[in-house]
Structure 1
Amino acid sequence: MSDQLRPRASLRTAVVWDVLKDALDRQVKATGRDALDVLDTGGGTGNFAVPVARLGHRVTVVDPSPNALFALERRAAEAGVADRVRGVQGDILGLFEVVDRGGYDAVLCHGVLEYVDDPAEGVRNAVDALRPSGELSLLAAGLGGAVLARALAGHFTEARRALTDPAGRWGEGDPVPRRYTAEQLTELVSAAGVEVGAVHGVRVFADLVPGVLVDTEPGAMEALLKLESAVAELPAFHSVATQLHVLGAKGAEGRPQRG
């Protein structure tokens, strides 16, 4: 895993970052270009955009928040990649008002589908922004993780409500408008013309383990990161993950599945 995303934040990003970096490496080999064009929809302050730019790629971040884009600009400058990171105000449902169709080798759609009115259109737009054989990285809140977390906190009625609610919400105070199962996300991606290469459970254990244990027990952080990586692709754990990650390629029919 890259040192760019360590240490505490890596519990939230490690699995996705490792998969994404491999996907970008594949695109470099496939295209013969060292510098790819990457679109990060909802990329905010650049948690992924800046590390991707550090790899030498050009990243366009589309986000509705001016404050987030200002922080992105400052972060990119501090990292020495301001020339490779461009922030544009907008959202995924109006994506082609601010970027071109078919102009990107990879599109990141992380933490977006929970908040859009039309998730299917959002995924279609992300896919339409890809060049042929471009890679899509999709990350969204998992239903099972929320149910498990509410139950372990003793909020059993809320856990049951999340389980039965069409949007996966546990109550009026739930800050997340929508959650997904792995099946729902893969259906959205497949319907948009992307062949699913891999599905990963993200933060399977990280949100359940007491922070004091991770921070004070020698070697606990590294051991937990290895455990998260070990279970990420196991379908049995997708149903309890806090987030779900889907990776696929546009027009990738017939390609072998990837990890």
Structure 2
Amino acid sequence: MSDQLRPRASLRTAVVWEVLRDALDRRAKAAGRDALEILDTGGGSGKFAVQAARLGHRVTVVDPNPNALFALERRATEAGVADLVRGVQGDALGLFDVVERGAYDAVLCHGVLEYVDDPAECVRNVVAALRPAGTLSLLAAGLGGAVLARALAGHFDEARQALTDPTGHWGPGDPVLRRFTADQLSALAAEAGLEVASVHGVRVFADLVPGVLVDAEPGAMDALFRLEAAAAELPAFHSVATQLHVLAERG
């Protein structure tokens, strides 16, 4: 994708989408079907759901925010995939009040675990929505990235607080309730009965590089994306990533 088609905001999710798209392709081939049934818990306005629908998959988005679901409907309509995207108001812990158990080829749980009281219960719940063979995509805030960001901003006490707090919380002004290491996030998937297929660091550099450096030089956005993609797979960079992405499989 060229710089003109990759705005800076989308760079923050591009690595996740590349990994997820490949996983969906593999799952569709294994299932012998072109279209998968996908559940996106906490999917909000449909950043990933609409992209998946563009591939021909049917996506159900569960989110507690009605305004986000309204934005999802608008985004799906503008993308021409309104017939493939369904929004339902609900949350991950009350998931089976609004969707069926064991009905989905893939489940996305992105930006949810940071805010629930019991992440392990949440993961077990979303795993129960998978078919006997299915894929789970977990995306959550990374501990090391928050520590690094607070330190680089000159908030050294907050950086130390995040580093030593069991939940990775840096203080009263922190909007994120908890953060994870790669091992912690992988363990949640494994304890729910899945096999971890891959772990990626997300936004290793994108949140740290000043926008003026990216905007000033032609080709810089593409170069930054290639750097993010290369670093994402290296365990050494997982410890400084803003987010962590775990892809896990059942069956």
TM-score above 0.5 = yes
**Over residues 195-221 of structure 1, what are the superposed CA-to-partner deviations in whole Å (9 max), with x where a residue is unaligned?**
000000000000000011111222110
**Over residues 121-146 of structure 1, what are the superposed CA-to-partner deviations in whole Å (9 max), with x where a residue is unaligned?**
11011111011120000000000000
Partner of 2:137: helix, strand, or coil?
A: strand
Structure 2 partner of 1:214: 214
Question: Are 1:34 and 2:21 an aligned pair?
Answer: no
- In the TM superposition, 1:108-119 aligns within 5 A as 108-119=108-119
Letter aligned with residue 95 of structure 2: L
Q: Distance in 1 between matches of 2:22 and 2:209?
A: 28
Letter aligned with residue 235 of structure 1: P
Structure 2 partner of 1:160: 160
Change (3 A) 1:170 1:208: same
Structure 2 partner of 1:257: none
**Over residues 35-56 of structure 1, what are the superposed CA-to-partner deviations in whole Å (9 max), with x where a residue is unaligned?**
1000000000000000100000
Partner of 1:92: helix, strand, or coil?
A: coil
**TM-score (norm: length of structure 2):** 0.97
Structure 2 partner of 1:202: 202
**Over residues 11-69 of structure 1, what are the superposed CA-to-partner deviations in whole Å (9 max), with x where a residue is unaligned?**
21111000000000001110111010000000000000001000000000000000000
- In the TM superposition, 1:38-117 aligns within 5 A as 38-117=38-117
Moved over 6 A (4+): none
Q: Distance in 2 between matches of 1:53 and 1:68?
A: 17
Structure 2 partner of 1:130: 130
Partner of 1:147: helix, strand, or coil?
A: helix
Q: Distance in 2 between matches of 1:57 and 1:147?
A: 38
Q: Distance in 2 between matches of 1:117 and 1:2?
A: 40
Letter aligned with residue 82 of structure 2: A
Structure 2 partner of 1:235: 235
Tell whether the 8 Å contact from 2:161 to 2:170 is kept in structure 1 after alignment: yes
Percent of aligned pairs sharing the same letter: 81
> Please, which moves more after superposition, 49-58 or 8-17?
8-17
Paired residues, number: 251
**TM-score (norm: length of structure 1):** 0.94
Q: Distance in 2 between matches of 1:121 and 1:60?
A: 21
Q: Distance in 2 between matches of 1:10 and 1:86?
A: 23
Residue 161 (structure 1) shift: 0.4
Superposition RMSD in Å: 1.4
Partner of 1:35: helix, strand, or coil?
A: coil
Gaps of 5+ in 1: 252-259
Structure 2 partner of 1:248: 248
Q: Distance in 1 between matches of 2:13 and 2:96?
A: 28
Residue 6 (structure 1) shift: 2.5
Letter aligned with residue 207 of structure 1: D
Q: Distance in 2 between matches of 1:193 and 1:211?
A: 41
**Over residues 236-257 of structure 1, what are the superposed CA-to-partner deviations in whole Å (9 max), with x where a residue is unaligned?**
0000000000001013xxxxxx
Q: Distance in 2 between matches of 1:75 and 1:51?
A: 10
Q: Distance in 2 between matches of 1:11 and 1:34?
A: 27
Q: Distance in 2 between matches of 1:23 and 1:2?
A: 23
Residue 2 (structure 1) shift: 9.7
Partner of 2:179: helix, strand, or coil?
A: coil
Tell whether the 8 Å contact from 2:2 to 2:222 is kept in structure 1 after alignment: no
**Over residues 95-133 of structure 1, what are the superposed CA-to-partner deviations in whole Å (9 max), with x where a residue is unaligned?**
011000000000000000001111111101111101112
Q: Distance in 1 between matches of 2:245 and 2:2?
A: 18
Tell whether the 8 Å contact from 2:39 to 2:61 is kept in structure 1 after alignment: yes
Structure 1 partner of 2:19: 19
